[in-house]
Structures are given as structure tokens and as C-alpha cells.
Amino acid sequence: MKTLFLFTLILQLACFIFAKTNSLSGNRVLVILDKEEDKKEYSIFFKSLKERGFDLSYTTASNEKLEIIKYEESLYDHLILFAPETDYYENDINAKQFIEFIDKGGNILLAANENTGTIIQDLLYEFGAKVDEPKFTVFDNFVHNSTTPNVLAIEELENKISLDKLEAPVLYYGTAIKSSNKNPYAKPLLVGGPAAYSWDDTVVNKAPLVTGNNIVLVHTLQAINNSRIVMTGSTKMFTDKYINSPVKINDKTYKKSGNLDFITNISKWTFQEKKVLKVVSSKHHKVGETERPEYYTIKNNMHYEIEIAEYNDGVWQPFNATDIQLELIMLDPYIRVTLKQQPITNPNSSTYAIDLMVPDHCGVFTFKVDYRRYGLSWIKESDVIAIHPLHYNEFPRYLIQGLPYYFGAFSMLVGFIIISILALYHEDDSSNNKVNKEASTKKKTN
Ligand SMILES: *[C@@H]1O[C@H](CO)[C@@H](O)[C@H](O)[C@H]1NC(C)=O
Ligand SMILES: *[C@@H]1O[C@H](CO)[C@@H](O)[C@H](O)[C@H]1NC(C)=O
Ligand SMILES: *[C@@H]1O[C@H](CO)[C@@H](O)[C@H](O)[C@H]1NC(C)=O
Ligand SMILES: *[C@@H]1O[C@H](CO)[C@@H](O)[C@H](O)[C@H]1NC(C)=O
Ligand SMILES: CC(=O)N[C@H]1CO[C@H](CO)[C@@H](O)[C@@H]1O
């Protein structure tokens, strides 16, 4: 009995160790579906997530036990929202709660479709995006699969985020996302081709509201706290049918669509398994020293160094870039310089450094590295330190340029002494006169 217990304990421990995910923000995923049965349609995608170590919980939007935040704590690290059609989520869960979930550092993978309900519409609206009219789907008479013009076969990425190019076309059936383009934190990942338009199954009798490249198929957003959100207008994209479907586009055929590769890569990005940056360390000191000083003096030569690592699929790698800048700020940046990457010595990170002269201006300065590039998580490192003016004993003395002044000062001094001596020891004639006068009066009285 005891051995059995021990055995199960070891087994559990082993499961626990092997179930470790590569995600930096945790492995608890909640999948919200419209209907319980939908789960079967996405079996390949969900299986791939489980293999990556995620702990998936499934629920439906109309489940009474639906909860994402309890006592101010997120119950999950990531959400998969595959329930666009439900108009009312149980327990009053709405866009506000999803935003709160994001504020707490959660990531969301969201799929809408041609029957998107108000909850998901509201949520998209928060991200500066909205879906087209109900029943409208995206058509493209040039780049589509075999003879169905509303099953698009997309071959090109609009922005690279975690994948460089698509090996096979991605099949897409669903609604168009319209982006207001006002949210600087959002960028489209897949867009419609030049001939794409959004319409329902009636005859097109006026200009469609959204066409061509303005049709966003997959949209991404990275919030200021590095939470990541991916939105798409197609739930079908994630289904087994689309993943396994052959693709036939303009006489070219592919045995399998690129959907699995694509959704694997974007879900890795969403769930913080890729392109995550962190500052390992940063330091600054005077040239020739190693300790951070209490303050700098104007025009000191200083050395700044920052170590940055990039996380991809479970390993921290050296981060490579040529555009990381350091700013010395007092209200405005006084100095902004590009840091140079040093030869890589550590397998897990890379170092960027620069030597520079602190500004000829005293005050309290912030030394800041604020690096924001789309697709990578944002890093911000800052340190506040004072820059002092020169101390009275730090000025050089007796400059050649000062000679006329020294001459002036010393000639004054010498002149003063001479005049004082003259004034003190000068014998005045008038006193002689007085004596003479006294003598003469004496003579008179005699
Ligand atoms: C991700 O995309 C790359 C192409 O950029 C592809 O080679 C790879 O197979 C994709 N899938 C995964 C799981 O990385
Ligand atoms: C794409 O076209 C192929 C070849 O005609 C077909 O077998 C497949 O079912 C189509 N896929 C979809 C999702 O329509
Ligand atoms: C680099 O990271 C690996 C694990 O990813 C770790 O085993 C190794 O000790 C690290 N190396 C250094 C020099 O930090
Ligand atoms: C940065 O470059 C080094 C050396 O070329 C390489 O080993 C490392 O994998 C690169 N880092 C990333 C994140 O690609
Ligand atoms: C995890 C994390 O960094 N959360 C932050 C996300 O952004 C909000 C608002 O800016 C902060 O309050 C959270 O702490």
C-alpha cells in the first residue's frame, strides 16, 4: 500500500516536472466555447497546446460556474475566447472584466466570426477594432481555395511577429476586422489581398464598406504591461478541418494548409513563449572605476552597460539589435546615444555598452533605456543620479590666461603697502613750520 502510494507520488511529481510549459507567465489556460461540442472541432490545436505543457480548462460562455477573476486574482494566465456568438456571458462577465484580466498581466487569444455577439464586439472595440456586419464574410476572387471565393488562402504576412514567412497558405473563412488605426499598440498580422471585400451572400449592389488591405484578418496588440492579445475574425481557422485541408490556389496545390504552423506560432507569441525580452542587469560608473558613484561631477567620463536576454521556446538567448539607446534626461534628454553590442560571452544574454561624458550641466538626471519595438516585449530601465558642479578644490589654479588679473591683484596689494608705508613714515613740513613758529614766538617773548 505504502509503495503504491510512493509510486503514485513519484508519478505525479514526474508529470509535474514534464508538464512545465515554456510560457513565462504561467500554464493555466481557460478555453471559453459557445457550445460544449465545439471542443471536438479544435482537437488538433488543443492537443498541440497540451503538448506544449499548458493546463487547459474548458467551459462554455453560458456555464454558471464561469469565472476568470476571483478575489481580485486572475484564476488563469491565458484565455482562449472561442465563444463569439454568445451574447450574454454568465456571471456578468463582460469587456470590462476581460480588460481587468489583461491589466493583471493575462494574455488573450480571441476569435470572432460572422455572427459575433455584443460581448466580443465590445471587447474588440476596446482594442480599437470592430467586426463587419452580421453574416458578412470576406471574399476574394483571386486568392482563395479551389472554387470557394470566401475561403481565402493567404500567403503573405503583413508584419513579422514571431514567424518570418508562411510555408503554406493560411486558410481563412470569416468576418473582416476593421481597425481604427488609432491604437499605436495594435498592428495587423494578416490582411486581405488587394481584391478582397466583405459582403454577405446577396448580390453586391453598392461599394463594400471595407476592402483590400483595410480588411484585417488577424490583428495583434501588445499592451503597455506586455500583455499580448491576438484577434481574428475566423474561428474556422483553428479547426481540424482547416488544419488538415489541402489547398488549391491558382493551379498550385499544397497537401496541407499552413494553418497549424501559423496558429502555433501566433499562440506562442500570445502566451509569452517567444520574443520576450528582459533586462538581466544594468550598471554605470566612472571610467576606470567599477562601483556606481554617489554622484557624478559635470564632464566626468562614464561607462554605461546593460545586459539583455531574449526568451524563445524555453531558452534565454543573447538579444541582437543595433538600435538600443541610452538617454540622459533632466526634463528633456540632454544626451541620447546608441549603445554598442559587445562580443557575446554569455550564452544566455548579450551586453550593450558605451563610454560617454556626462553633460556640462548640474542637476538630477535619469539614465534611461526605454526600448519599444513591435513584437518584442518592452523594456524600460532607469536610474536617477545627481550631477554636481565642480567642487571649489577641483578647479585648476594659476592659469596663464589669468596672469593680467593676478598682476592687477598683486599690483594693487603692492601699491597699497607702499602707500601705507609712505603714509605712516612720511614727515610732514607743516609740523616743522609749527616748531619754527613756536621757536619764533619764544624768541619774541625773550
Ligand atoms: C513557425 O513558423 C516557422 C516559419 O517562420 C515554421 O518553420 C515553423 O514550422 C512554424 N511552427 C512552429 C511550431 O514553430
Ligand atoms: C480547399 O481546396 C481543396 C481542393 O479543392 C479541398 O479539398 C478542400 O476541402 C478545400 N478546403 C476548404 C476548407 O474549403
Ligand atoms: C544559461 O541558461 C541555461 C538554461 O537555459 C542554464 O542552464 C545555464 O546555466 C545558463 N548559463 C549562464 C552562463 O547563465
Ligand atoms: C544573437 O546572435 C548570436 C550570435 O550570432 C546567436 O547565437 C543568438 O542566437 C542570436 N540571438 C537571437 C535571439 O537570435
Ligand atoms: C503584470 C503587469 O505588469 N501588470 C500591469 C499592467 O498594466 C497595469 C496598468 O498600467 C498595471 O496596473 C499592472 O500592474
Q: Are residues 374 and 295 part of one domain? A: yes
Q: Are residues 210 and 99 part of one domain? A: yes
Q: Are residues 92 and 62 part of one domain? A: yes
Q: What is the pLDDT of residues 257-282, one digit of tens each?
A: 999 999 999 999 999 999 999 999 99
The whole-number pLDDT of residue 393 equals 84
Closest to 153 in 3D by CA, of 44, 263, 258, 255 = 258
Q: Are residues 420 and 374 part of one domain? A: no
What atom in ligand 5 is closest to the CA of residue 226? 3
Segment holding 423, helix H or strand E: helix 403-425
Residue 445 has pLDDT above 60, yes or no: no
Q: How far is the CA of 197 from the centre of ligand 3 (A)?
A: 50
Q: Are residues 155 and 292 part of one domain? A: no
Residue 433 has pLDDT above 70, yes or no: no
C-alpha cell at 25: 507567465
Q: What is the CATH number of the domain that holds 308?
A: 2.60.40.1930
Q: pLDDT: is 429 or 299 the higher one?
A: 299
Whether 176 maps to a domain, the answer reads: yes
Residue 429 has pLDDT above 90, yes or no: no
d(CA 299, CA 388): 10
What atom in ligand 1 is closest to the CA of residue 264? 13
Q: How far is the CA of 227 from the centre of ligand 5 (A)?
A: 9
Q: Which whole number is the average pLDDT over 126-150? A: 89
Residue-range definition of the domain harbouring residue 246: 22-272
Nearest CA to ligand 4 atom 2: 320
Q: What is the CATH number of the domain that holds 31?
A: 3.40.50.880
Please state the domain count of the chain: 3
Question: Which one of 272, 287, 306 terminates a domain?
Answer: 272
Cα–Cα distances in Å, from 49 out to 28, 77, 312, 325? 11, 14, 16, 37
Q: How far is the CA of 84 from the centre of ligand 2 (A)?
A: 25
Measured over all CA atoms, what is the biggest interatomic distance in the chain, rounded to whole angstroms? Answer: 156
Q: What is the pLDDT of residues 163-174, one digit of tens each?
A: 788 889 999 999
Residue among 281, 311, 316 whose CB has most ligand 3 atoms within 8 A, to mutate: 316
DSSP 164: S
Task: Write down the H helix ranges in 19-138.
Answer: 38-41, 43-51, 95-103, 118-126
Does the beta carbon of 281 lie inside 6 Å of ligand 3? no
Residues 6+ apart with CB under 8 A from 207: none
What atom in ligand 3 is closest to the CA of residue 314? 5
Q: Are residues 223 and 287 part of one domain? A: no
Q: Are residues 256 and 189 part of one domain? A: yes
Instruction: Please return the burial class of 174, using the count of CB atoms within 10 Å of its CB with bins 0-12, 13-18 and 19+.
Output: buried
Q: What is the pLDDT of residues 106-133, one digit of tens each?
A: 999 999 999 999 999 999 999 999 898 8
Q: Are residues 372 and 348 part of one domain? A: yes
Q: How far is the CA of 218 from the centre of ligand 5 (A)?
A: 25
Residue 120 near residue 32, CB atoms below 8 Å: no
Q: What is the pLDDT of residues 374-425, one digit of tens each?
A: 889 999 999 999 999 998 888 777 788 888 998 999 999 999 999 999 999 8
